[in-house]
Amino acid sequence: MTETTKTHVILLACGSFNPITKGHIQMFERARDYLHKTGRFIVIGGIVSPVHDSYGKMGLVSSRHRLTMCQLAVQSSDWIRVDPWECYQDTWQTTCSVLEHHRDLMKRVTGCILSNVNTPSMTPVIGQPQNESPQPIYQNNNISNKPTAAKILGKVGESLSRICCVRPPMERFTFVDENANLGTVMRYEEIELRILLLCGSDLLESFCIPGLWNESDMEVIVGEFGIVVVPRDGADPDRIMNHSSILRKYKSNILVVKDDSNHPMSVISSTKSRLALQHGDGHVVDYLCQPVIDYILKSQLYINASG
């Protein structure tokens, strides 16, 4: 399978990130590694979207702090970025609304039609006006430095970062190498581009709680977008899916990360990190990256909080 026939993916994680942990970042990395190993996908970006302040969760600190901590946590990543849109709205947004916002944003920025899980890959065209036919640029199909769809996406990275990202240098959030030499002409390529919700098995399990999720939202999230699930705390995603008719219906759209990772960070939660901070537990360095710890101590977050 060539690069252009693989599904290009942006991973989107919604959550409190109160605070963001090493485990959250590891979740992105594990998901990307697994999707690449399947041979079916190319992950071109990751988005961290912190929840709105009005979510109402006990002990939730201001989005101003949570956005900053998320920025600090991903500052060394060249493919994960922080998006403030959800925090900047007038009120709390559903996960479904956040996914739809990013799908619409990508349509505007890239000029392509994003596919969902039920759409063939022939519709999205990167860099090509929808009403024009692509002209062949290369006569020799064996030329190794042809611009790929991923490289073309890299050229819109700066535009995306201007629209979506909070403060850090724009180059950190380009999806691929924006310095790649595309030459004076660009070969237009048809690709399938999807935004997938990235979550732990605890969120998947919440889909099975009656009345917690709007069923029409679940249909859109799982049926139109799709989910990448990273198992946590020994949970069995297959068992969880069997407890929901919607999850069973769209089981083929749920990708469960399967790897050999037994690292303890895979079970670390924000709750454990807050408790460690409150109790002065030195093991907090196992949960949070140092820049986040420094910011928390400087801002005196969670130290005297409960929950």
- Per-residue pLDDT at 157 exceeds 80: no
Residue 56, pLDDT score:
86
CB 15 within 8 A of CB 28: no
Kindly write down the DSSP assignment for every residue of 42-83, as one continuous string.
EEEEEEEEEPPGGG--TTPPPHHHHHHHHHHHHTT-SSEEE-
Kindly write down the DSSP assignment for every residue of 192-205, as one continuous string.
EEEEEEEEEHHHHH
- Per-residue pLDDT at 267 exceeds 90: no
- Per-residue pLDDT at 86 exceeds 90: yes
Residue 4, pLDDT score:
66
Residue 192, pLDDT score:
78
- Per-residue pLDDT at 217 exceeds 60: yes
Residue 282, pLDDT score:
87
- Per-residue pLDDT at 76 exceeds 80: yes
Distance CA 225, CA 114 (A): 10
- Per-residue pLDDT at 203 exceeds 80: yes
Amino acid type, 171: E
Residue carrying structure tokens 């999807």: 194
Q: What is the mean pLDDT of residues 21-34?
A: 95
Least confident range from 111-125, 205-219, 286-300: namely 111-125
Fold of 7-116+187-262: Rossmann fold (3.40.50)
Residue 268, pLDDT score:
66
Torsion of CA 59, 65, 66, 69, to 10 degrees: -130
The token duo for 108 is 């505007």
Report the half-sphere exposure of 275 (CA within 13 A, side-chain side). Answer: 6
Residue 130, pLDDT score:
36
Q: How many residues does the chain have?
A: 307
Distance CA 55, CA 274 (A): 18
For residues 128 and 3, the model is more confident at 3
Phi/psi at 287 (nearest 5 deg)?
Answer: -95, -40
Residue 150, pLDDT score:
44
- Per-residue pLDDT at 28 exceeds 90: yes
- Per-residue pLDDT at 99 exceeds 70: yes
The token duo for 219 is 């249909």
3-state secondary structure (DSSP) of residue 196 = strand
Distance CA 231, CA 256 (A): 7
CB 103 within 8 A of CB 12: no
Residue 41, pLDDT score:
95
For residues 126 and 87, the model is more confident at 87
For the chain, state the CA radius of gyration.
20
